[in-house]
Chains A and B, each alone.
Chain A
């Protein structure tokens, strides 16, 4: 059985950062990812990131991805791609299907889950028609595969994902017919929202999609105004000619492996629902198992990277790769950056939600 000191599941921003931190401290690290390329969702993010310089602000997500990969390569971190982690048994055993062919059992002293998140669905009449898809699916199509999912798009949801994907659809040459938002206020960062507004895209707040219609595929969408209890207001229905409807209804943490491993869970609507309980050092209720990134609550790539570093650092420290002084110093640096990222209007909500999780306590306190 292959033995590693640290096995990391997921080679996105959190997983790569965790691997870099642990490996640079001296750990023998393996990182496993189900996709054929590492980077997670970073390579879809062709926009510039916010934050301060330490968070690589002003750099496009794709380039941050390249930097992380270069660093991982320099540290000679072992990466298995096209490999799916199917289960965790007896605390330390990890079942992997490598290269979609071979089933392997590994043993790990420390496990870091950085499995990310999955898009939420909203259901409406006709949502099964070809042409209705997740905003993330559309983003993959345009920015990774360079294919337009359609030419006339309706975006449901004005949060950051909805807004950023709308802008990127415009950049790719699609026509964004409208952005529909259920709540009375727009949800995304003002900078991005303003860009789309300037491009002439109409926003419909307090509106929802009533139906997708068409013969075998999306040909039009019906939207309708809703009142404060989300009931349709009669007589406000509008028909839009679209061939694509993108759903940006938030994300849910991908927690299956943490559940199988036996982690305690906690519920936090602000961060996407059920998440494995964890402390500020990213340790779960299982002493040897850490989490980082969206699995611990949906935030952003910048926070995911810092959480990854924190998890990698803690895993390395617990294996004796540094003394308490070094550990505390690094821990404080990472924590300061995380606090910084969780400030401001959007950040504070996430900070409060995180603090509630930390305070809730688990077996590890």
Chain B
């Protein structure tokens, strides 16, 4: 395995070269790279790779890390089963 074929997103098995290609095509935020490559769309929802992808974008484009958030956060912020939504809710 070469350096460029390493997985950055472990869940969706998206490689460094796929991410760099997306950046070359003009996808230069973590969210845009995610939409282009599926990096961050797997089971863990970008919890492991988000920061790495921000670093790769910054290194390749010179965009300061300061301005690159690791992607949009939505609730639920934890992994929950759909079945918790069934039945009566205590609200």
**Residues of chain B from 48 to 79 with CB closer than 8 A to chain A in the complex:** 48-49, 51-52, 65-66, 69-70, 73-78
Q: Is the CB of B8 within 8 A of A97?
A: no
Q: Is the CB of A86 within 8 A of B73?
A: no
Q: Is the CB of B85 within 8 A of A118?
A: no
The contact of B77 among A118, A125, A256, A269, by CB within 8 Å, is A256
- Size of A's binding interface in residues, CB under 8 A: 36
Residues of A within 8 A of B77 (CB): 85-87, 256-257, 260
Q: Is the CB of A125 within 8 A of B6?
A: yes
- Residue A124, interface by CB 8 Å: yes
Residues of A within 8 A of B35 (CB): none
Interface Cβ pair total, 8 Å cutoff: 79
Assess A267 versus B90: contact at CB under 8 Å? Given A101-B84, A123-B52, A125-B6. Answer: no
B60 to A: closest C-beta gap in Å: 15
Q: Is the CB of A97 within 8 A of B73?
A: no
Compute how far the CA of A238 lies from the CA of B10 in the bound complex, rounded to whole angstroms: 26
Compute how far the CA of A103 lies from the CA of B85 in the bound complex, rounded to whole angstroms: 7
Q: Is the CB of B51 within 8 A of A121?
A: yes
B17 to A: closest C-beta gap in Å: 12
- Residue A274, interface by CB 8 Å: yes
The contact of A252 among B8, B51, B76, B78, by CB within 8 Å, is B51
Compute how far the CA of A111 lies from the CA of B90 in the bound complex, rounded to whole angstroms: 20
- Residue A328, interface by CB 8 Å: no
Q: Is the CB of B49 within 8 A of A103?
A: no
Residue of A nearest to B89 (CB): A103
- Residue A205, interface by CB 8 Å: no
Compute how far the CA of A89 lies from the CA of B76 in the bound complex, rounded to whole angstroms: 11
A164 to B: closest C-beta gap in Å: 22
- Residue A273, interface by CB 8 Å: yes
**Residues of chain A from 78 to 135 with CB closer than 8 A to chain B in the complex:** 84-89, 95, 97, 100-105, 118, 120-121, 123-128
Which residues on B are within 8 Å of A, measured CB to CB? 1-3, 5-8, 10, 13, 16, 47-49, 51-52, 65-66, 69-70, 73-78, 80, 84-85, 89-91
Beyond A84-B76, A256-B77, A274-B70, list 5 extra A-B contacts (CB 8 Å).
A95-B75, A97-B76, A103-B85, A121-B52, A274-B69
Q: List 30 A-B contacts (CB under 8 A).
A: A1-B91, A84-B76, A84-B80, A86-B77, A86-B80, A88-B75, A97-B78, A97-B84, A104-B89, A104-B90, A104-B91, A105-B91, A118-B47, A120-B51, A121-B48, A121-B51, A123-B8, A123-B16, A124-B6, A125-B5, A126-B1, A126-B6, A127-B6, A128-B13, A252-B51, A256-B73, A257-B77, A260-B77, A267-B66, A273-B51
Please give me the 3 A-B residue pairs with the lowest Cβ-Cβ distance, nearest first.
Answer: A87-B75, A86-B76, A267-B66
